[in-house]
Amino acid sequence: MQSSTPSEGDPPPAEPPKCTNCTVHTGFYSSWLSTRKVVLPHVSEALEKYPNYQLVLVGHSLGGAIATLAGLDFKARGWNPRVTTFGEPRLGNKNLNAYIDDRFKITDNHESNDLHRVTHAGDPVPLLPLEEWGYSMHSEEIFISEPSLPFSLADVHYCEGDEDPHCIEGSDDDRPAWGVPTRFKFWQLFFAHRDYFWRLGLCLPGGNPKDWYRKFPKHSTGDGDGDDVQEINEL
């Protein structure tokens, strides 16, 4: 990433340490790059206006992947975000996830860490893309072990390391021999994957119900910024 002297109101330049031998899912990373130029000025303005506020990023599913990648970007600019994701998919290889753990300075004191990813039993998304394709998880998982609603605080557990076998990683094998692995239970996209907010009644789509499932209109920045994707190898 090339740095330059920022003008007044511009976000600080990003100066991340190199992520050696890291790979990241191109779609997830490109999703962050495509929105970054819109998001950064607003975040920078808010931090200047409210310097004592905590910068918090929250995302569900694809939004969780983008929130974690945005958190890395923000840290590279000298900001200190707190990131919580729900149903976040696997982002990249083990080197990338070790890099994420290191950049967020993960410790054994789970409550003091600034990065958490919440998963739910039966949710296939945190197990995708497949491990066989080279993808893995980063640490600070909080696992909801109760597969049905409602769940209680006793069903919420801190997990150890990147892939705790007692959490979502192990749930893929916790089934009868004739059962379907969790990662292939795509019908759970309508159930377990929505149990974090939607089916609990905490988050519902607003506006006209006819618009809930329409695709967002395609758009581009129109500024010839396509070569940003080259940053994928270096973060």
The residues that are catalytic are: 61, 123, 193
- As separate numbers, helices (DSSP H) first and strands (DSSP E) second, the chain gives 4, 5
Q: Which two tokens stand for residue 234?
A: 């270096």
| Chain CA centroid to CA 197, Å | 16
- The CA distances from residue 193 to 29, 167, 210, in Å, are 22, 15, 22
List Cβ<8 Å contacts ≥24 apart for 52-57. Answer: 54/82, 55/79, 55/80, 55/81, 55/82, 56/81, 56/82, 56/83, 56/84, 57/81, 57/82, 57/83, 57/84
Q: Give me the half-sphere count of Cα atoms (radius 13 Å) on the Cβ side of residue 66.
A: 15
Taken in order 159, 164, 60, 227, the sign of the CA dihedral is positive
By CB atoms closer than 10 A (0-12, 13-18, 19+), residue 201 is exposed
| Chain CA centroid to CA 211, Å | 25
Closest CA to 185 of 141, 132, 128, 138: 128
